[in-house]
């Protein structure tokens, strides 16, 4: 990541976990409201994928005589392939193939292969491979979802090198000082090639020339290393050592084979099989593939709302991660869920600092971030979304429930839960009527901001307070001595735990008596309706066409966060109220958010409204493959991808956890003949195989 703003004036003490440091300072500037903000942007790295090709002296481009063009993403083996037939101006033909993979098991490595097959006799060949450090990021031009990013060149040159086998570029992000090295080694097969290498500060090239009589290939072994994981003094040497190890492990061929085996192991347990609906089958596998390749694995990184596929939202992590992605990995790959949660544990000092800025104790996690501090400049839809604390603690609770992994709680998870509960207890207050209220917040629905008693926020806060008390009791019972040390470090007392429990009981969660529905917030039902009939379709999404204050004063939703609260915490929602809430809020929801449809789909499935459930599910599952939001160039919609799996398993398969056990109530759409999936529960692998008549559990 890159910090686009130099260090500023606010210095706030924090505490790292696990005794690594007693204190840590978080330094960042203040914005116009006195609240600190750091501009954080995920930068595009040195490009290593460019290859230029000349045959018989002619430059090969797709603008030429090209036929039989194919491009495919093989999700079973984790490779991208492209091939086509090219014809020269003199009529000579050649078949070209490109294969590319970024290793998911060997983090620094990627592999490229170019194959050339002459079809009408010998040809002269020239191939140029380029490491290009002249990369830029997108700059926002009227769409706030893209982000401002950084204009122009974003990586400065530190070093460049070349020899008879390798290329290397080393660059630095100017503000954060993070350094990156990209290095490449090459191997040719099927030809005798003369090679020349050249490098300059932002560009390194390798040229290969040969007389081609048969099919031949050029393999490029790419490695990327950075100064977060390697001592800067060792960065260049480490890249060379990594290239040597890469070659000794079979080069590009070995990488492709290990990638295939890695994905075979993943799909064996994680695949969702649907008979009777090929579009949905494709969508679910596509979604799982992108979730898998976009998720951090090291505890230092999370998953951006666009994964690693585009520059929308500047590569920031949102609450999408804990609500839509972590639950998927909790049941499919718990070790990945643990890594994503460990990222939040490591950012607790920044969350404590943010709470301190609001004159509260505890921790307030950022609505959007990369490095820990809040990256949103617009506080009504940023800092006011204090539900993020509840999202994170709910993800921790569900992870603990499904894995029984108390070690994560001892290793900082409990600190997160207690500090989030502490923040809620100090942010809210008890009114004269004896209810506990949370004022001036924004829920997940960003078309309603700075309101009181948002139902979603209050319900997640109540669950956080309850979980904090329950977790403390579990930890105390499992290891009293260790718990006392934890309580001492956090200055946690029984009186405070009792206060958490009391506020949870008093949490304000009303039902409107005259309508029998759950108010989204204290003022929502008193607002005027949105003028649906006078707003043309091209004015949606509303946030691109109308001032926020115009939107905020109406009963109009970007997404129905009441229904999402019911999906996440259904225990105290009677069926009659779920039906009324679904009817009321569906009529007032634009679904301008890609996060919206899956909650409606799960609710509709629960109510046996299968046609509606399928319609909402299709809108979720096909978001990216059909570009339903119209902004595919910004990257995929990670939350919708997670939502597709959640709808399948929680909606159509009816997964619920009751009395600490998983239960199911499958109800398949008419067009599906069969649904089969697997999930993990406390070290066991459970398979659910359902058709319209029978469900088999194994």
* Side-chain half-sphere exposure of 39, counting CA atoms within 13 A: 12
Measure the CA–CA gap between 396 and 330, rounded to whole angstroms. Answer: 10
- Looking from the CA of 626 toward its CB, the CA atoms found within 13 Å total 13
Nearest-angstrom CA–CA distance, 143 and 126: 42
CB 585 within 8 A of CB 561: no
- Positions marked catalytic: 446
Q: What 3-state DSSP class applies to 656?
A: strand
Longest dimension (CA), the chain: 91
* C-alpha dihedral (285, 290, 293, 294), degrees to nearest 10: -150
Integer Cα distance of 112 and 252 in angstroms: 7
- CA torsion sign for 639, 644, 649, 655 is positive
Residue 552, number of CB atoms within 10 A of its CB? 18
Backbone angles phi, psi at 295, to 5 degrees: -85, 135
Q: What angle do CA 415, 419, 423 make, to 5 degrees?
A: 170
CB atoms closer than 10 angstroms to residue 3: 21
CB atoms within 10 A of CB 290: 24
Q: How many CA atoms lie within 13 A of 56 on its CB side?
A: 15
Whole-number Cα distances in Å, 407 to 63, 97, 338, 342, 348? 57, 48, 10, 11, 17
Residue 562 φ then ψ, to 5°: -60, -45
In 213-342, the DSSP E strands lie at: 216-226, 273-275
Per the CB < 8 A criterion, the answer to whether 313 and 636 are in contact is no
Phi/psi region, residue 458 (left: phi>0; alpha: psi -120 to 50; beta: rest), is alpha
Please give the span between the terminal C-alpha atoms of the chain, in angstroms, as a whole number: 44
Q: With b meaning 16 or more CB within 10 Å and e meaning fewer, what string describes 253-284?
A: ebbbebbeebbeebbeebbbebeebeebbebb
- The three-class DSSP label of residue 377 is coil
Q: Are strands 58-59 and 47-55 parallel, antiparallel or unpaired?
A: antiparallel
Helices H / strands E in the chain, number of each: 19, 25
φ and ψ at 654, to 5 degrees? Answer: 70, 30
């Amino acid at each position: 990541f890159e910090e686009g703003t130099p260090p500023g004036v606010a210095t706030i003490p924090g505490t790292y976990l696990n005794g690594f440091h007693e204190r840590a300072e978080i330094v960042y500037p203040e914005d116009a409201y006195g609240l600190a903000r750091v501009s954080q942007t995920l930068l595009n790295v040195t490009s290593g994928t460019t290859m230029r090709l000349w045959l018989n002296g002619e430059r090969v481009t797709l603008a030429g005589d090209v036929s039989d063009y194919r491009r495919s993403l093989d999700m079973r083996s984790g490779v991208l392939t492209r091939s086509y037939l090219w014809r020269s101006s003199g009529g000579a033909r050649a078949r070209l193939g490109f294969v590319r993979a970024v290793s998911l098991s060997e983090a620094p490595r990627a592999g490229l292969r170019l194959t050339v097959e002459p079809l009408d006799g010998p040809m002269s060949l020239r191939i140029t491979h380029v490491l290009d450090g002249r990369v830029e990021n997108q700059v926002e031009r009227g769409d706030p979802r893209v982000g401002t990013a950084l204009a122009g060149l974003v990586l400065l040159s530190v070093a460049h090198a070349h020899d008879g086998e390798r290329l290397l570029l080393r660059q630095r992000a100017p503000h954060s000082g993070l350094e990156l090295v990209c290095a490449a080694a090459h191997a040719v097969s099927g030809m005798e090639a003369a090679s020349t290498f050249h490098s300059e500060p932002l560009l390194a090239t390798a040229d290969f020339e040969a007389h081609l009589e048969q099919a031949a290939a050029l393999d490029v072994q790419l490695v990327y290393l950075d100064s977060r994981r390697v001592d800067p003094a060792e960065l260049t040497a480490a890249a060379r050592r990594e290239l040597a190890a890469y070659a000794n492990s079979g080069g590009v061929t070995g990488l492709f084979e290990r990638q295939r085996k890695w994905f075979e192991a993943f799909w064996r347990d994680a695949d969702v099989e649907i008979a009777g609906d090929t579009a949905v089958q494709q969508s679910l596998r596509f979604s799982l593939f992108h979730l898998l390749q976009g998720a951090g694995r090291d505890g230092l990184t999370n998953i951006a709302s666009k994964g690693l596929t585009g520059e929308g939202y500047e590569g920031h992590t949102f609450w999408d991660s804990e609500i839509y992605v972590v639950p998927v990995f909790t049941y499919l790959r718990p070790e990945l869920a643990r890594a994503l949660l460990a990222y939040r544990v490591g950012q607790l000092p920044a969350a404590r600092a943010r709470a301190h800025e609001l004159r509260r104790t505890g921790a307030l996690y950022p609505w959007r971030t990369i490095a820990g501090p809040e990256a949103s400049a617009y506080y009504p839809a940023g800092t006011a979304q204090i539900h993020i604390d509840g999202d994170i603690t709910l993800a921790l609770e569900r992870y603990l429930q499904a894995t029984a992994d108390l070690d994560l709680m001892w290793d900082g998870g409990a600190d997160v839960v207690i500090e989030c509960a502490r923040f809620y207890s100090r942010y809210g207050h008890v009114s004269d009527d004896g209810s506990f209220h949370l004022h001036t917040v924004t829920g997940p629905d960003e078309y309603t901001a700075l309101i009181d008693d948002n139902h979603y926020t209050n319900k997640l806060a109540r669950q956080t307070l309850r979980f904090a008390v329950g977790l403390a009791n579990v930890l105390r019972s499992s290891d009293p001595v260790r718990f006392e040390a934890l309580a001492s470090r956090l200055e946690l007392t029984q009186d405070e735990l009792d206060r958490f429990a009391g506020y949870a009981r008093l949490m304000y969660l009303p039902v409107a008596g005259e309508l029998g529905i759950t108010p989204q917030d204290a003022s929502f039902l008193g607002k005027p309706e949105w003028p649906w009939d006078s707003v043309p379709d091209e004015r949606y999404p509303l946030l691109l066409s109308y001032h926020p204050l115009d939107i905020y004063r109406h009963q109009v939703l970007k997404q129905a966060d009441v229904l999402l609260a019911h999906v996440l915490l259904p225990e105290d929602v009677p069926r009659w109220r779920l039906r009324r809430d679904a009817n009321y809020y569906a009529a007032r929801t634009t679904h301008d958010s890609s996060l919206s449809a899956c909650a409606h789909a799960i609710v509709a499935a629960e109510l046996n409204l299968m046609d509606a459930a399928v319609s909402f599910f299709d809108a979720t599952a096909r978001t990216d493959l059909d570009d339903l939001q119209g902004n595919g160039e910004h990257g995929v919609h990670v939350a919708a991808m997670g939502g597709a799996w959640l709808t399948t398993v929680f909606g159509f398969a009816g997964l619920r956890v009751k009395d600490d056990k998983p239960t199911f109530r499958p109800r398949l759409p008419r067009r599906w003949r069969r649904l089969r999936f697997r999930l993990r529960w406390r070290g066991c692998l459970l398979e659910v195989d359902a058709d319209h008549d029978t469900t088999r559990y194994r």
